[in-house]
Amino acid sequence: MSTPFPSGPISSVSGTSVVVRGDDIDTDRIIPARFLKCVTFDALGPAAFADDRAELAGSAAGPHPFDRPAHQGASILLVNRNFGCGSSREHAPQALMRWGIRAVVGESFAEIFYGNCLALGIPCLTADHDTMLAIQEAAEADPAAPFCLEVADQTLSCGTQHWTLSLAEGPHQMLLSGQWDATGQLLAHDAELKATAARLPYLHQFQGA
Amino acid sequence: MSSGTLYDKVWDLHEVSQLPGGATQLFIGLHLIHEVTSPQAFAGLKDLGLSVRHPERTVATVDHIVPTTSQARPFADPLAEEMLATLEANCAEHGITLHGIGSGRQGIVHVIAPELGLTQPGMTVACGDSHTSTHGAFGAIAFGIGTSQVRDVLASQSLAMGKLKVRRIWVDGQLQSGVYAKDLVLHVIRTLGVKGGVGYAYEFAGPAIAALSMEERMTLCNMAIEGGARCGYVNPDQVTFDYLKGRPFAPSGAAWDQAVTWWSALASGSEAVFDDEVRFDAAAIAPTITWGITPGQGIGVDETVPTLEQTEPDERPLAEEAYRYMDLQPGAPIAGLPVDVCFIGSCTNGRLSDLQAAAAVAKGRHVAPGIKAFVVPGSEQVAAAAEAEGLDKLFVEAGFEWREPGCSMCLAMNPDRLEGRQISASSSNRNFKGRQGSASGRTLLMSPAMVAAAAINGRVSDVRTLLNA
Ligand code: SF4
């Protein structure tokens, strides 16, 4: 994809959308296990939803949204409940990111998937059931319509339509400040890391425990 | 908000700092790595010019991609070989212990860390694998992480985490004969749903839990994640200590007594406050089996596939998808459903007691014609212990294949996989579409004893009838 990967503060994501409906879409579906045989994430983009896409290709239900021409280049993924459940594989958000996704909006997310997305700078915002259905309907009605997701005020808009989303305070601040990639922050607390290690009995043969 | 629980105590002890975004920096006591989710983390470390902060607190093994027939190197699959070679190089470069093939200690990461005594009460345990929840069986706070977080733990021995709420799952009574921890956890997930645990750590407690062996507790905590709970745990008790004593990395000598004192004090006390509590009666649970495409779509073996009317309205689209995918009729009995492949193994049910339970069913019987049945021990130690008891021969005589240790057909990253629409009776943990290596393959999750019963009869069967025969 031509869009660069996320970096620095992330205050908004704009672009066209792609709707993948259904609850409990697990990471085995987002990226089937056979694609985990790799030592880099580089080639995962085209494999996103590979089996679902193969299943739907040529079926009466039509191609999978990721295969529809109108959605090529989409950057906002619109989903339903418990998206990303199952395996902890970061290959799942990596595949979505490399396909072009830069933000996900859904009713709810599995925790590990959510954290993995955040670590890549992909905001996952939530909306209640009815709002989500309204957003998905609007997106399906006009696949070419540009959406704009504002991380700062937690809204999604498309033309004259606006929806209120939510995002927990921590991730909200991390995205806006550009500190969503935690490594630097974790390393900054060297003295505290040493102090914690010093008080854990199992690191010291339980002396004085 | 919970207080005084084991989760709270362990969390507080491992808190390093509060991060600007509101997350807590949590020290990780034990970091487990394997070949699938670590290579990109090591590459990320290199990109940032960082080194491994505590190489002695990271332990590696190889499990997901290993073949279970010939494990001779190089592996026939060049990608698998590259993944293992990369892990070997990364461990060598950073001074990390790798329990490799032939070491006597290799196996599924969630099987070997407990059996080596690496997993201990009161630790925080992280691994780039969602079934890290397994280690909670020891009263550790253990959870799966993504690859970016693996990199973070390598670099800083810590993670940015939000604190979970704690739900106590209290189980009264006693499991019936023929009903195992696997049935209990499938029942819990069936009842609370696959999202029921999101935002929670599950504390499993009560008389039925206290009566479980360590291996059964591991099965239970292993699948907490399938119920949406990122971690599950059991308070450490005498069963825990008896299991740990004498293991290679468990404390010994004077440290042992001090450790037991410290571990005992970590358990949730009578003053502990939980955010939520749910109660179950173990005696009411039947052998449980999944019929659908999530671990929450489970029923007793004597029940019928739920109809739409019996399904909560918001679960109906998923049920319809499952009927189609599994090719099952709502209202049809699950018992008697023919199966093609029977798999005994995985980090859920690949330990010695699992193989013993399956062997008790297979003994003196034979796998039905046309059924492919195979047993994959969870580790080299499990294999050795089983072979010492003659279980390998017992299985082979009964028509099962006896394989080398690894993850195998739990997720089919190695050559063990379903073909086409094959349907498997599996002792693993996930029945997602395509999970076992064929995009249209179907999986029925159940206990190892139930898998053995399915293999013998060629169809889904109530193991209790075989045990009592
Ligand atoms: S046995 Fe299955 S669930 Fe367990 S670690 Fe291996 S692949 Fe994951």
Cis check for the bond before B74: say yes or no (omega within 30 of 0): yes
Of B9, B52, B149, which to mutate for an interface test with A (greatest number of A Cβ within 10 Å)?
A: B149
Q: Least CB-CB distance to B130: which of A22, A87, A189?
A: A87
- Domains annotated on chain B, with CATH: 6-161 (3.30.499.10), 165-284 (3.40.1060.10), 288-467 (3.30.499.10)
CB contact under 8 Å between A88 and B129, yes or no, is yes
pLDDT for the residue A209? 63
Mind listing the pLDDT tens digit for each residue in A4-38? 899 999 999 999 999 999 999 999 999 998 899 99
In eight-state DSSP terms, residue B338 is B
| ipTM for this prediction | 0.93
Most confident of A36-45, B241-250, B411-420: B241-250
Mind listing the pLDDT tens digit for each residue in A114-141? 999 999 999 999 999 999 999 999 999 9
Residue B47 Cα, gap to closest chain A Cα (Å): 12
Neighbouring residues of B464: CB distance < 8 A, sequence distance ≥ 6: B176, B177, B178, B287
Q: What is the dihedral of CA B406, B408, B412, B417, to 10 degrees?
A: 160
pLDDT for the residue A151? 97
Of B9, B18, B19, B258, which to mutate for an interface test with A (greatest number of A Cβ within 10 Å)?
A: B19
Mean of the pLDDT values across residues B365-373? 98
Q: Least CB-CB distance to A110: which of B198, B411, B440?
A: B198
Confidence label for A1 from pLDDT (cuts 50, 70 and 90): very low
Taking CB atoms and an 8 Å cutoff, what residues of chain A touch B82? 39
Question: Residue B180 in contact with residue B219, Cβ under 8 Å?
Answer: yes
Cα separation values, B74 from B33, B34, B93, Å: 21, 18, 21
Of all protein residues, the one whose alpha carbon is nearest to atom 4 of ligand 1 is B347
CB contact under 8 Å between B262 and A173, yes or no, is no
Ligand 1: which residues within 6 Å by Cβ? B 63-64, 108, 110, 129, 131, 346-347, 407, 410-411, 428-429
**Among all residues of chain B, which has the CA nearest to that of A85?**
B228
The dihedrals phi and psi of B49, each to the nearest 5 degrees, come to 70, 30
Taking CB atoms and an 8 Å cutoff, what residues of chain A touch B124? none
Residue B184 Cα, gap to closest chain A Cα (Å): 19
Q: CA geometry: angle at A88 spanning A84 and A89, to 5°? A: 90
Closest CA to B416 of A34, A39, A36: A34
Mind listing the pLDDT tens digit for each residue in A158-190? 999 999 999 998 899 989 999 888 888 899 999
The dihedrals phi and psi of B305, each to the nearest 5 degrees, come to -60, 125
Q: Where are the domains of chain A?
A: 12-180
Q: How far is the CA of B407 from the centre of ligand 1 (A)?
A: 5
pLDDT for the residue B20? 77
What gap in Å lies between CA A145 and CA B298, rounded to an integer? 41
Which atom of ligand 1 is closest in space to residue B430's alpha carbon? Answer: 3
Assign residue B327 a region (left: φ > 0; alpha: ψ between -120 and 50; beta: otherwise). Answer: left
Pocket mutation for ligand 1, best pick of B226, B411, B436 (most atoms within 8 Å of C-beta): B411
Mind listing the pLDDT tens digit for each residue in A54-95? 999 989 988 999 999 999 999 999 999 999 998 889 999 999
Quote the mean pLDDT of chain B. Answer: 97
Question: Residue B467 in contact with residue B178, Cβ under 8 Å?
Answer: yes
Taking CB atoms and an 8 Å cutoff, what residues of chain A touch B128? 88, 90
Which residue type is seen at A76? I
Which atom of ligand 1 is closest in space to residue B428's alpha carbon? Answer: 2
Residue A31 Cα, gap to closest chain B Cα (Å): 10
Q: Least CB-CB distance to A196: which of B16, B129, B152?
A: B16
For the record, the structure tokens of A151 come out as 């991380």
CB contact under 8 Å between B21 and A183, yes or no, is no
Mean of the pLDDT values across residues B441-452? 98
Q: Is the pLDDT of residue A2 over 60?
A: no
Element (H, E) at A164: strand A161-164
Closest CA to B151 of A180, A38, A183: A183
Instruction: Determine the 3-state secondary structure of A18 from DSSP.
Output: strand
For the record, the structure tokens of A59 come out as 């079926």
Pocket mutation for ligand 1, best pick of B135, B343, B347, B349 (most atoms within 8 Å of C-beta): B347
Taking CB atoms and an 8 Å cutoff, what residues of chain A touch B80? 37
Taking CB atoms and an 8 Å cutoff, what residues of chain B touch A206? 251, 255, 258-259, 262
CATH for the stretch A12-180: 3.20.19.10
Burial (CB count <10 Å: 0-12, 13-18, 19+), residue A140? middle
Q: How far is the CA of A162 from the centre of ligand 1 (A)?
A: 43
Of A202, A203, A207, which to mutate for an interface test with B (greatest number of B Cβ within 10 Å)?
A: A202
Q: How far is the CA of B408 from the centre of ligand 1 (A)?
A: 8
Mean of the pLDDT values across residues A99-104? 98
In eight-state DSSP terms, residue B370 is T
Closest CA to A103 of A80, A86, A78: A78
Beta bridge pairs of residue B127: B32, B144
